[in-house]
Structure 1
């Protein structure tokens, strides 16, 4: 019999809409960058952005996660000196204008570590969620800004920055260290009145290939924190480095890992390939229902 994590369904307040997580949600990735690690996700022109957006929505994406800089390992442009706030906002505005024109009620997450950018996206475009790869470490004002904006916040685990994270992959005991990381930051967020927090273990960020598979094996330990769990492993190096090929060849591995993540208790899957993720959710849900 399949094993899966059974827990009480959680929910998120997304812009005043109470969204149930009784069914895991699919977050589609919209990269407004010229240099994402997966070339198939790069969109810089308006026609490309609109085409990808239509595809993700039609395939069943529940949330669109838009980002304007690359957080790939060793990324040069993660430095504030390389991609200025003005350039980041310019890229985001292009994508957000298209989203709000074509799908004005879409649930949107913005992938940024800058508090000022987060505030502008929420106030000018009605964004309902901020996805911060740095867990508040790259901008000391982020937590206070999230509390003021009253939006959902994705709290990801990473050590260092994408420039340095792969030099910081040594852990004494990775799971306890990560649980402490989350608990300490959640306490700060809760003290500020932030209620809608999503936990992201940060697969591929400051972790070796073996670390990533250990995290997947023990994913259920993060569900015990009591907040929704997001998993983002789409076409990442834990797949293509393990097999010795490329992100373009990593869809099958992604689907397998997404399935394992769902069985481990994931509430949100962040993906490049929405159709395949939607199918994984449906198959896992059908299998679970059949044995109740």
Structure 2
């Protein structure tokens, strides 16, 4: 007899199939092997006591603070611990319960059977401006085309072209100036039909520039303002483009001036829901969500958003994370932008583990290699 302790992060479905478990059993056992930790804030104390008993009745549990049983406080924060199957059963139970538990049941259902994919796309960054925070991402003219070809050869699935810096405190430029920087590169990519070799993304929120790029083979609009401008939303809808909806508190000029949140996961999710609804009204069918690491967030909020990416999967969209060489790495391990590759890899692999399926990076080759190794380790 041989006994082996397996990692909690293995592909359980594949392991069960390898054992020869029948298809029905695979589904049941996979559910049991999926665990959920769900924090519920500001819950009515009566609801907490009911939820505690209902959780125990299905084999789950609810961590509650002292005084909950005696109802010494009117509202409490709690932590639900449940497997996939237990969560499904509990969600059904709460549909008939009082104190807001019927609403909670819908929230719990949204976390059931979250997608779990190992398909990861690498988005390579290229900047046509000379003030981006990482100088090695700056290219113009024929050098830009050469760099794009290099990134494609290294395994980039998407190329993200930008002409304006969005680093904290950056200086805004006119749409005309932005287009002047980008036009030669966009035209060269179009003439060489580069859009047939890779997906082309434009990092911009200027309608003038977006219209020019979408007319010439670009299919993704990476908008750091999250479709704040109706005209950007209209262009995405009319061209059938994919919109990357990013969250940012404030503007690049003001975003790091004491950003505050009641709950960063909740606040960002509310923003996403509002902008998804707006996008749908403008006929946008394909959307990607980006929580905006470093855009109006302190270190603790950046860490929370990366660690809990899976929270946003219930919105049914692909998740993009772009933390490449950002200053949050310096806050954790003092460095400059030239020394943050290792930190970038660590953050992005964690984000992928938590459900992100696109990473926006300066270092394509290294990320492609790291992701391939990570996939192998997942089994």
Partner residue in 2 for 1:42: 138
Which of these residues, 346, 350, 353, is aligned with residue 256 of structure 1? 346
Partner residue in 2 for 1:271: 361
TM-score (norm 2): 0.68
Q: Is the 8 A contact 1:28 1:63 kept in 2?
A: yes
The runs of 5 or more residues in structure 2 that have no matched partner are 1-6, 11-33, 35-112
User: Shift in Å at residue 284 of structure 1?
Assistant: 2.1
Map 1:5-84 onto structure 2 (within 5 A).
7-8=114-115, 23-44=119-140, 46-76=141-171, 78=172, 83-84=173-174
User: Shift in Å at residue 262 of structure 1?
Assistant: 1.0
Aligned partner of residue 184 in structure 2, secondary structure: helix
Partner residue in 2 for 1:126: 217
1:112 aligned onto 2:207: no
User: Shift in Å at residue 66 of structure 1?
Assistant: 0.2
Partner residue in 1 for 2:325: 235
Map 1:142-157 onto structure 2 (within 5 A).
142-157=232-247
Could you list the runs of 4 or more consecutive aligned residues of structure 1 that deviate by over 6 angstroms after TM superposition? none
User: Shift in Å at residue 214 of structure 1?
Assistant: 1.1
Aligned partner of residue 120 in structure 1, secondary structure: helix
Aligned partner of residue 230 in structure 1, secondary structure: strand
Partner residue in 1 for 2:3: none
1:173 aligned onto 2:263: yes
Q: Is the 8 A contact 1:263 1:284 kept in 2?
A: no
> For residues 86 and 192 of structure 1, what CA distance do their matches in structure 2 show?
25
Deviations 1:93-126 (A, max 9, x none): 1222333344351310000011232112111x11
> For residues 2 and 98 of structure 1, what CA distance do their matches in structure 2 show?
48
User: Shift in Å at residue 89 of structure 1?
Assistant: 1.0
CA-based RMSD of the aligned residues comes to 1.8
Q: Is the 8 A contact 1:130 1:153 kept in 2?
A: yes
> For residues 294 and 277 of structure 2, what CA distance do their matches in structure 1 show?
25
| The 10-residue stretch of structure 1 (152-161 or 48-57) with the greater mean CA deviation from structure 2 | 48-57
1:187 aligned onto 2:277: yes
Deviations 1:179-201 (A, max 9, x none): 00000110111122211000000
Larger Rg: 2
Deviations 1:16-62 (A, max 9, x none): xxxxx762111100100101011111113x24213321221110001
> For residues 163 and 49 of structure 1, what CA distance do their matches in structure 2 show?
27
Q: Is the 8 A contact 1:159 1:168 kept in 2?
A: no
Deviations 1:204-246 (A, max 9, x none): 1000112111111111101121100001010011112322220
Aligned partner of residue 69 in structure 1, secondary structure: coil
Compared CA separation, residues 26 and 116, structure 1 to 2 (3 A): same
Q: Tell me: higher relative CO, structure 1 or 2? Use CA pairs within 8 A at least 6 residues apart.
A: 1
Aligned residues: 270
Map 1:90-109 onto structure 2 (within 5 A).
90-102=180-192, 103-105=194-196, 106-109=198-201
> For residues 136 and 145 of structure 1, what CA distance do their matches in structure 2 show?
10
